[in-house]
Amino acid sequence: MQPKLGARARNYRDLVLAIALFLVLDLGVLVFNFYASGRIAADTSKINASGELRMYSQQLTKAVLTLAQETRDGMPFQTSQAQITESYQNFSKALTALSERQDANPLTRLLSGASIEQEAELLQAVATYWQPIDSALAPVLHAMSRQIPPDPIDVEITVNKLVARNIRLMQLANDLTQHLEQQAMASTRQLRTIQVAAIMLALVNFAFIILKFVRALRQSDRAAEAAREETEEILDTLREGLFLLNRDGTIGSQRSASLERLFDRELRDGERFAGVLGGLVSAESASVAMEYVDLLFHDRIKGGLLGQLNPLDEVALSQTAEGARETRHLSFDFAQVRREGKVIALLVSVHDISEKVRLRRELAGAEEQARGEVELLLAALDQEPALITAFLDAAQAKCLEMNEDLRQVEASPRAYAGMIDRQYRAVHTIKGEAGLLGFGHIEREAHQVEEELSALRGRRAVNGNDLIPLAVALNALRQQLDRLREISAKVRGYAGKPVLDPLDALLRQVERFTRETARDLSKEVEFEAVATPLSRVPPALSQLLREAVPQLVRNAVVHGIESADERLRAGKSAAGRIRVVVEPREDDLVAVSVWDDGRGICADTLRHELVALGRKSKEEVAQMNDREVVAQLFEPGFSTATAVNRHAGRGVGLDLIRALLTRLGASLRVSSQPKHYTKFTLLVKA
């Protein structure tokens, strides 16, 4: 992916070296240029001086010849004198200048070597030739400076010297001029060559820099392109949704392709997360989620420590795509992206967890079912098979009747009301018996049917659709009963279960039911069952013990037995006492009595209740005697319990018993003393 650090450093080092070489080269050429142009200027001025030597030598010769002529002719010599002085001075000046400009620079010596020496030799030759002329001219110049005529002999000597040497001197000056010109040309050539070479080198260097730079640029471009392609490939392949959420609340442009599938919509660049979320989940969820996101952008907050508060760790989508059967669930995970300690963005990953959620729910459902079945199994193991069969026969027959009733009920409010009442009684019996036998699961399903019936009871108008939840609940109850039948059939297959005396078994059910009811209502109860052994348990007695006695015991626990505090204040033991007695009576009758030492039945309290419940007017209750008032307890729908629970408050129970007694041809007696006891005695044919 990225060039290694060593390679990158090498690239940069080459570039830096190339640039340094370029600068050094430029500087070198500049210095040489400066030096060479200085030399060329010096050469030019020397060429001039050399030309002057030639010119003034000629001029001097001419002027001295003129002076000789004038001296001989005795003519005035002022003009020639001035020319001689000027030529002499200018020649001397040019010669001095040439000698002084002799270049001692070691670089020049290095570059021009032999040429310099030749120049010096020529100059030396000029000086040597000039020396005798200079000496001969001295007395002439001396005389002229004092404005006296020079000695003709001195003039003659000078003329001789000049004539003899002028030609050679001029030749030497010519040679020097030529030599200097050649030298200047050589310098110029040298300068040109060096300049050309330097420019070539600079161009090569420049090309090298450009090449290096372009190559580095292309390399980094390729690396960037490869990285981008790799990122895109990853983002296209990822199954989870991945994106950067910027500080300004927008979704970053780099995001996984699956995001649009998860959100079931297209995403535009720069779209706001709040808007996207608002379209996915409920307004409330979106608002809490944005609060959370906002907090994650606080630098002080540690994202890892806020995971448990993530409101989007499992969120149901408010809109499900057409054709989808179940609600989809997504999970959002947020990770802070920090730069120098500051949160600059959130990396958000999105998963579709619908399958996980569905499996979890199914597992919970399966667990609940398994628990119910184990409960059924345990209860079935604990029961006499005959009792279970009797219960199932009765319950399933009732369910069948209820189902038929539901199907065939006439569509009128009055018919509905009657049906609901009938169903209520039937399911209440099933519930009571299931509770008595310890089939909690069935009891709960029956309670559910009761709940549905209660909801319908309160309605003014009922139509067919309203009955659907009832039918569903009833179906669930029937399934539980079927399941119990299967289980009990299996249980019966196992041998070794001790056979109990049927009456004893029935009384044990009552005892257990009493204890469960008391425990549910947090009341302390001591239960006692007394039975005279019977040769056989008549079916009517069996039915009374299964259906009626549990209702009476339940009433005793719910309504009769006071709370422990109340009992202690009344001077009673904290635990209430309930006694069930089964004994044969005269005339081939068996008596079953349920006695409790609770608060008893107070006719006046009942009168108040009747008025309060709106069942009777004040005048009516005033005219009723105590027997008639107590008899109201057995009317449908009368209840004195304030809260509806599994055990009380539905107003069925005693009216059910009355119906059962009628069916069995049994009779009932109630005796009670307020604050002391209540006793229900049921008499049935043996």
Partner 1 sequence: MKLLIVDDSMVMRNHIARLSSDGSLPEVEIVGLAANGRDAVAQARRRGPDCITMDLTMPEMDGEACIGELARLLPRARILVVSALSDKATALRAIRRGAHGFVHKPFTEEQLRQALRELMS
Applying CB under 8 A, the residues found at the interface with partner 1 are 288, 291-292, 295, 300-302, 304-306, 308-309, 311
Q: Nearest distance from residue 287's CB to partner 1, in Å?
A: 8
Q: Nearest distance from residue 437's CB to partner 1, in Å?
A: 37
Kindly tell me which of 40 and 301 has the beta carbon lying closer to partner 1. Answer: 301
Kindly tell me which of 310 and 555 has the beta carbon lying closer to partner 1. Answer: 310
Kindly tell me which of 284 and 588 has the beta carbon lying closer to partner 1. Answer: 284
Q: Nearest distance from residue 353's CB to partner 1, in Å?
A: 18
| Contact call for residues 420 and 453 (beta carbons, < 8 A) | yes
Question: In angstroms, rounded to a whole number, what is the distance separating the alpha carbons of residues 132 and 153?
Answer: 15
Q: For strand 342-352 and strand 315-316, is the pairing parallel, antiparallel, or unpaired?
A: unpaired
Q: For strand 342-352 and strand 241-246, is the pairing parallel, antiparallel, or unpaired?
A: antiparallel
Residue 326 phi/psi, 5-degree rounding, is: -120, 160
Q: Nearest distance from residue 280's CB to partner 1, in Å?
A: 18
Size (the chain), residues: 686
SS (H, E, C) 214-269: HHHHHHHHHHHHHHHHHHHHHHHHCCCEEEEEECCCEEEEEECCHHHHHHCCCCCC
Kindly tell me which of 306 and 394 has the beta carbon lying closer to partner 1. Answer: 306
Kindly tell me which of 312 and 507 has the beta carbon lying closer to partner 1. Answer: 312
Q: Nearest distance from residue 288's CB to partner 1, in Å?
A: 5
Determine what percent of the chain falls in helix, strand and coil, rounding each to the nearest 5: 65, 10, 20
Q: Nearest distance from residue 295's CB to partner 1, in Å?
A: 6
| Contact call for residues 497 and 553 (beta carbons, < 8 A) | no
Q: Nearest distance from residue 371's CB to partner 1, in Å?
A: 23
Token pair listed for 462: 């009922």
Kindly tell me which of 306 and 471 has the beta carbon lying closer to partner 1. Answer: 306
Q: Nearest distance from residue 300's CB to partner 1, in Å?
A: 6
Closest CA to 353 of 239, 202, 524: 239
Kindly tell me which of 333 and 504 has the beta carbon lying closer to partner 1. Answer: 333
Kindly tell me which of 335 and 624 has the beta carbon lying closer to partner 1. Answer: 335
C-alpha atoms less than 13 angstroms from C-alpha of 489 in its C-beta half-sphere = 7
Kindly tell me which of 301 and 641 has the beta carbon lying closer to partner 1. Answer: 301
Q: Nearest distance from residue 298's CB to partner 1, in Å?
A: 8
Closest CA to 163 of 63, 23, 276: 63
Q: In 303-412, which ranges are continuous DSSP H helix? A: 354-381, 385-408
Q: How far apart are the first and last CA of the chain?
A: 99
Question: In angstroms, rounded to a whole number, what is the distance separating the alpha carbons of residues 249 and 523?
Answer: 60
Q: Nearest distance from residue 626's CB to partner 1, in Å?
A: 53
Number of Cβ within a 10 Å radius of residue 250 = 16
Q: Nearest distance from residue 311's CB to partner 1, in Å?
A: 5
Token pair listed for 416: 């509905």
Q: Nearest distance from residue 294's CB to partner 1, in Å?
A: 8
Q: Which residues pair with 667 in a beta bridge?
A: 683
Q: Nearest distance from residue 249's CB to partner 1, in Å?
A: 17
> Taking each helix axis from N to C terminus, what angle separates 5-73 and 78-100, rounded to the nearest 10 degrees?
160
State which amino acid sits at residue 240: E
Kindly tell me which of 299 and 635 has the beta carbon lying closer to partner 1. Answer: 299
Kindly tell me which of 249 and 649 has the beta carbon lying closer to partner 1. Answer: 249
Kindly tell me which of 125 and 347 has the beta carbon lying closer to partner 1. Answer: 347
Residue 265 phi/psi, 5-degree rounding, is: -165, 165
Q: Nearest distance from residue 309's CB to partner 1, in Å?
A: 5
Question: In angstroms, rounded to a whole number, what is the distance separating the alpha carbons of residues 127 and 252?
Answer: 93
Question: In angstroms, rounded to a whole number, what is the distance separating the alpha carbons of residues 386 and 389?
Answer: 5
| Cα–Cα distance list, 37 to 29, 42, 45, 105, 406 (Å) | 12, 9, 12, 14, 125
Q: Nearest distance from residue 274's CB to partner 1, in Å?
A: 16
The set of residues, in sequence order, having a beta carbon less than 8 Å from that of 634 and lying 6+ positions away, is 654, 655, 657, 658
Kindly tell me which of 125 and 288 has the beta carbon lying closer to partner 1. Answer: 288
Number of Cβ within a 10 Å radius of residue 36 = 21
Q: Which residues pair with 582 in a beta bridge?
A: 531, 592
| Contact call for residues 488 and 391 (beta carbons, < 8 A) | no
Q: Nearest distance from residue 289's CB to partner 1, in Å?
A: 9
Kindly tell me which of 313 and 626 has the beta carbon lying closer to partner 1. Answer: 313
Question: In angstroms, rounded to a whole number, what is the distance separating the alpha carbons of residues 658 and 683?
Answer: 12
Token pair listed for 221: 């471009």
H/E stretch holding 100: helix 78-100
Token pair 């720069």 in the structure block, residue: 270
Kindly tell me which of 305 and 321 has the beta carbon lying closer to partner 1. Answer: 305
Closest CA to 15 of 189, 243, 210: 210
Kindly tell me which of 301 and 534 has the beta carbon lying closer to partner 1. Answer: 301
